[in-house]
Structure 1
Amino acid sequence: MVLPDKTIFIQGLNFIVMIFLLNIVLIKPVREIIKKRKGLMADQLEKIEGFNASAEKKVADYEAQLTQARKEAGEIRNTAKDEAVVVEHEILAEAGKEASSTIQAARAEIQSEVKTAMEQLTKDVYVYAEQATGKILGQA
């Protein structure tokens, strides 16, 4: 059995002094380091969250700009297509007019040639008829 004597008080005092000294030398500095690390971690976490928010905002802006660019490109393409259709109709109309005038000119030329040929044949018919008549009647 343990008998309490005056050394127990000295051991108790020694224990309290040692706790006090350990608190000053070891525990408080470790707590300060842990506190600083927590603060550093919180700062880093804030920076990361800010960076993520900034990145998300930039991605959203990029997607909005991309959508706008696609819309503008579609409008430009449609405008160019409409202009090309108008030019195509103008070219086709001009080609139709040129073809029509060429056909009219060709018809007029053909009619003129037919008329000239008919007149020449009409003149030649009388000559051939006289020659044939002469041969039939025996005249040279």
Structure 2
Amino acid sequence: MVSVDYSLLVQIVNFILLILILNVVLYKPIRGVLAKRREAIDGLNASIDASSAGVREREETFAAGIKEGRTRGVELKDALIDEASQEERRIVGEITSRAQEDLAAVREKISQDMVAVRESLQSEVDDFANAIGEKILGRAL
């Protein structure tokens, strides 16, 4: 059987003393290290969150810049196409105008040449008619 005497009191005091000593020597330093580790982890998590937010913001800015650049590129391309189309119409108009002028000049030249040839042939018609008549009849007219 277990007897309760002063040794039990000594054991209780010994246990309490051991807990106090272990608390000072072991538990408080471990809790301090764990608290520092928790603070470091919390700081790193906050840093990660801040960096992630910065990265998201930069990605959004980058995406907006790309979208704006594409929009400006399409607008510039459309403007260049319009400008090229206008230039093409202008050039085609000039070429058509020149071609019309050249055609009119050629027609005028042909008309003048035709009048000149007609006049020169008209003066020779009598001579040709006599020559043909002589050949057909075989005698002089």
- Please report the TM-score for the alignment, with normalisation by the length of structure 1: 0.92
**What is the CA-CA distance between 1:74 and the residue it aligns to?**
1.3
- In structure 2, what is the equivalent of residue 93 of structure 1? 93
> Structure 2 matches for 1:14-93, cutoff 5 A?
14-93=14-93
Q: Distance in 1 between matches of 2:39 and 2:99?
A: 88
Write the distance in 2 (CA, Å) between the matches of 1:133 and 1:38: 133
Which residues of structure 2 form unaligned runs of 5+? none
Map of 1:11 onto structure 2: 11
Shift of 1:38: 0.6
Query: Partner amino acid for 2:140?
Result: Q
- 2:140 corresponds to 1:139: yes
Deviation of 1:138 (Å): 2.7
SS in structure 2 of the partner of residue 3 of structure 1: coil
Change in CA separation of 1:31 and 1:137 when aligned onto 2, cut-off 3 Å: closer
**Structure 1 residue identity aligned to 2:139:** G
Task: Report the identity percentage.
Answer: 26
Aligned AA (2:12): G
Over residues 21-48 of structure 1, what are the superposed CA-to-partner deviations in whole Å (9 max), with x where a residue is unaligned? 1111101111101110110010000000
After the TM superposition, which segments of 4 or more aligned residues of structure 1 sit over 2 Å from their partners? 129-140
- Structure 1 runs not aligned, ≥5 long: none
Greater displacement, 38-47 / 130-139: 130-139
After alignment, is 129-138 or 16-25 more displaced? 129-138
Cα distance in 2 for residues equivalent to 1:137 and 1:17: 166
Q: Distance in 1 between matches of 2:46 and 2:132?
A: 122
